[in-house]
Each structure stands twice: as C-alpha cells, then as structure tokens.
Amino acid sequence: MVFTILAGIITSIGISSCTKLDSKVYSVVPNSEFWQTPAEIAAGIAPAYAALSNIPEGDLELVAASSDEMVIPIRGADWLDGNQHTQEWLHNWTPDNPSMNGMWNDIFGGIGKANFTLSIVNALPTPPPNLAAINAELKSLRDFFYFLAVDRFGNVPYVTSFNVDPSTVKTISGAQIYDSLIAELNANIELLPANVDATTYGHFTKWAAFALLAKLYLNQEVYTATKTGDKTTSAGPAWQKCMDMCDSIIASSQYNLQPNYFDIFAPNNSNLTGSGNESIFVVPFDKANIGGNNWEMATLHYQNNLNLPLSGSPWNGFCSTADYYSNFDTSSVYSTKGTTVYRTFLDQRAGQYLIGQQYQIQFTYPPSTNVVYSADPSLKINDLQFGIPLIFNPVVSAISDPSGPFRAAGLRNIKYYPDAGTSGNQSNDMVIFRLADIYLMRAEADLRANATVSGTSLGYVNAVRTRAYSGDASHNWTAPQVTLTSLLAERARELAWEGWRRNDLIRFDVENGTHDQYFGAARNPAKTADADAHWQLFPIPSQQITANPNLSQNPGY
C-alpha cells in the first residue's frame, strides 16, 4: 500500500528546528536535500493525504446520519453524548454540536496541510524535477477538500496560501468557490498522473479529477444557488458537462466493475490497485499503520464478535431503518447444510445488512450468503445485558429507548466486511469515487437533460444491475423504467453508506423546488418535515466564529 510510508517517513519531511549547525541529525532531512526522488516526493505530500483518514468517523457519520440511510439512536445511556447524534437524524442540530466542529476541523485541516506543503515545495532552492505535477496533485486534492466544505457548509473561507493569518479570513459564497474549483481542476487535470497502478493508488489522478468535476457539475444548481434551496438563475444546469466528465473516465478503459460487489470494500481491497479495477479514488487504511476506519465497531452489536471475526466487542451504534431497507430487493434462495439454513440474496447488495436472529456460526465472505436459522438452540446469540435473543429488527420505533429489544433495533451494515482479528482500525480502504457511481451519475444527467435515457446510459445502468444480480441480466431495465425515482432508489442500493446519500437527496430537493420531499422529509423515527431549506447546509461551528468573528453564520442558525 502506497501510504505505508507515512508511518516511518512523515516526520522527516524537513520541518527542521535544529540550531546547533555542527550537530549531526539523523532523523530530519533538510528540505533543500529532499523532494528529489519518487519516494521522497511521495513522503512529502503524504501529510496532505493523511487528513483524509478522519473521514469515516467525522465527515461520513454526519452526512449519513443526517440523511435517511443511517440513524444513531440512544439505547439507554449508550450513544447519548449530549444528543449530538440524534440531532443529526432529527435535523435540529445547532452550531454548538461537536460533530459540526469536528467535521470543519477535518476538512480545513486537510486544506491547511495542502497549502503548507505547497508553500514548502515551491520555496525549495532546487525544485524537484516534476514540480508542476506535484503542484497539480496538491491543488486538486485541496479542491476535493473544498468540495467537501462547500457541500457541507456552503459559504466558507477560501484560502489558497499558507501565509495567511487565519483570524482575518472571511466567508465567501459557495458559488464563487464552485467557479474556482472548476477552473483550477480544469487547469491542472492534464498534469495529473493518468496511469492506474500501485504508484498512483490512493492518489488524486486525472481520473479522480474527472470524477470530482462530474460531481460538481451534477450538483451545480445546488452549489451555485443564491440561497439554500434555490436553483441558480444564471449558470443553469450542467448536465452535459457532467456526462462529458463521466465519458472521459469511461472512455479511458482504465476501470471495470468488479464481478463481486463486496470485493470493492473487503479488508484486502488495497490489492485492487491496477488498471481494470473499479475504484477511482480511495482513502487507504491499514490496521498496522493507518487507523481511523472503525465502521465495523460503530455499527455492530456488542455480541457480534461471536459470529464475525472480531477481537473485541463492538459499540452497537450506527444502523439503518426499515424504510431505507425497503429500497433493496430481498428476494432470496435458501439452502440447508446439516441443521443450518443459509440465505443467498439474489441482489448481492442486500447482504450488506444483518437482519434477524444472530447465531454463533461464523459468517463467511461475501455476506450475500449468510445464516438465517440453526436447529441448535444453543447457537443462538443473546444480548448479554438483558439475556434475550439478539434479533435485528429493521423497525426503529423511537429515537431513544432503554429497553432490551431496542438494543437490536435497526439493521447493521457489513458492506466494509469486518477485518479478521481487529477491534476497530480495520484495513478496508474507504472508497470515494468508483465506476458504478460514474455510470449512475451519467444516466441521471442524461435523463435530466433529455427526459429519457439514451441507449448508452441504459447500458451503464444495466451493467450495475447485472453485476448486483451476479451476472443475471433478467433484472435489467428498459428505458421507460429508468426514471429519476428509480435511479434514486438504485443509488440507495448501490452506494449505501458511501457518503453520497445526503448529496443525492439535497440535489433532488433542489431540482424539484422542494425542501421537504427528500432530504428534508419526515421519516421514522420521530423526524418531522423540515420547515425550510436551511438544514441543507450545516452551520458554521460556534467555535470557529468565536476564533474568527469575520466568519458569517449560514442563514437560519
């Protein structure tokens, strides 16, 4: 894995404070002697990428739990935490919510590291031989962090130099930042690496830039709105540009759909580094060197270490509701081995959720086939605190409940299949951009631009569906079946818990001229419809405004 160099080399990138010039220093390399070899360059830019490892626990929790795909209910005192998690679901968060400040710090920490590294490498007395390419990569990575900032907060500070007093910056409109991101990505895209192999795995490549541009163009009317919930009245939709960016990736022939859906997210998915694989941009994790991916612990029940290969007890938090699960085709075939009944989902993707009674029989990979019954009652897993059977129920009837059965309310997600022998810090690399998303974005932009999908877009949608059904094309759609409603449901199935659901729902609300049909809709448990559209943006955290009163709070907060 490319980023394994981080643990050993990150401290040697040349921030030297040595004052005894005659001393021999072996742990620090001066900048003037660094940045000359590929290994040194990779180590030098690594800190800017390291900020991405905060995404699973900071950014993705907040964006998922504010949509309909994930809820974090309070089970007794578990996950109480000052109600910060339930606020995400209920849409009653405040600028004081710690999750908001954590996400802000993660995003702007990445921007700051990119700016710092740019300042270092561009001040070298002897520039590295590929300075233009280094600048392009760091600026494009910074553009990705700014995309997150605009998507989450809208109007934010836009700083592209490290030598700026942070207490003096002001917020500018998301529309202005959108224009800057489009311009900078287009200016640098041909300088980014086009090869897809182990040397570019986890790096921002030309193809990642095309994917980011596609996301920006797909959501142009969200990001350039004059106020939250409005469509822009100037630039208009950019559906064709989105399609062009998607086509650039597809035409490269660098990427293909993985035959097995779950291989994309498996603990060994870092092996999928070469051309022909599906993932375009990932955040690498490694249980020995790069921690931060703890989703197996955050979602699974305390006793799921009895049927999944974990070395510790999970935290029993993140889950999905019956309403979200209803997007999935749960049609199955059943088989019996001895006294155990196994269920195989026709649509592989439905297997990412644990449902029903849990048994002390180890799950096998991939989870599209799993245990649903054992005739041996001694193999039933119980909730140890209450001494009752552990039966995952998709119905989450309340946002807070101290009862025993409620500890098993909500379906637990094992899309990022648990990494054997871990209790957090799993090795599954987190996928940001991948080809299936490109196919579905292309189809949506085509449909919005032309009122019907072309044969080309239909083929892409059906490629995703055929893969989902393990090569069975009998579930493919005809062109009239590809509607905005069906595409949104397909994205819910294909991209569950990948961080795009909030983005999708807000886009659908904005395009429909609503604020309470998709992202702002009422949903179980306990969420009422949003009264207005200001919840489509998170507030600027109170801590940030206290530190810099020049920042302007988003409307409605």
pLDDT of residue 349: 98
Q: Could you tell me where the DSSP H helices lie in 391-494?
A: 435-450, 455-468, 484-494
Coil, strand or helix at 145: helix
How many residues can be counted in the chain?
Answer: 557
Answer yes or no: is 315 within a domain.
Answer: yes
Res 234: pLDDT: 47
Collapsed DSSP state (helix, strand, coil) of residue 383: strand
Q: Is the pLDDT score of 410 beyond 90?
A: yes
Specify if 383 maps to a domain: yes
Report the Cα 49 to chain-centroid distance in Å: 15
Residue 314 lies inside a defined structural domain of this protein: yes
Residue owning tokens 């490549």: 205
Pick the range with the lowest mean pLDDT from 35-49, 231-245, 428-442: 231-245
Domain containing 397: what range? 295-413
Worst-scoring range by mean pLDDT, 166-180, 186-200, 228-242, 349-363? 228-242
37-51, 66-80, 330-344, 529-543, range with the lowest pLDDT = 37-51
546/557 Cα distance (integer angstroms): 15
Nearest-angstrom CA–CA distance, 15 and 165: 20
* Residues contacting 286, CB < 8 A, separation 6+: 1, 3, 4, 270, 427
| Residue 311 maps to a domain | yes
Residue 287 vs residue 27, higher pLDDT? 287
* Reported pTM: 0.93
Condensed to tens digits (0 to 9), the pLDDT of residues 493-526 reads 999 999 999 999 999 999 999 999 999 999 999 9
What is the number of domains present in the chain?
1
In whole angstroms, what is the distance from residue 367 CA to residue 350 CA? 9
Residue 515 confidence (pLDDT)? 97
The pLDDT value recorded for residue 29 is 64
In a domain, 442, yes or no: no
Please report whether residue 332 resides in a domain.
yes
> Is position 351 within any domain?
yes
Q: Collapse the DSSP code of 476 into the 3-class scheme (helix H, G, I; strand E, B; otherwise coil) and give the result.
A: coil
Please, are residues 4 and 289 in contact by the beta-carbon 8 Å criterion?
yes
Residue 390 resides in a domain: yes
Determine the Cα–Cα distance for residues 98 and 85; give it in Å rounded to an integer. 10
Mean pLDDT of the 320-326 span: 98
The region, left, alpha or beta by phi > 0 then psi within -120 to 50, assigned to residue 264 is alpha
pLDDT of residue 167: 85
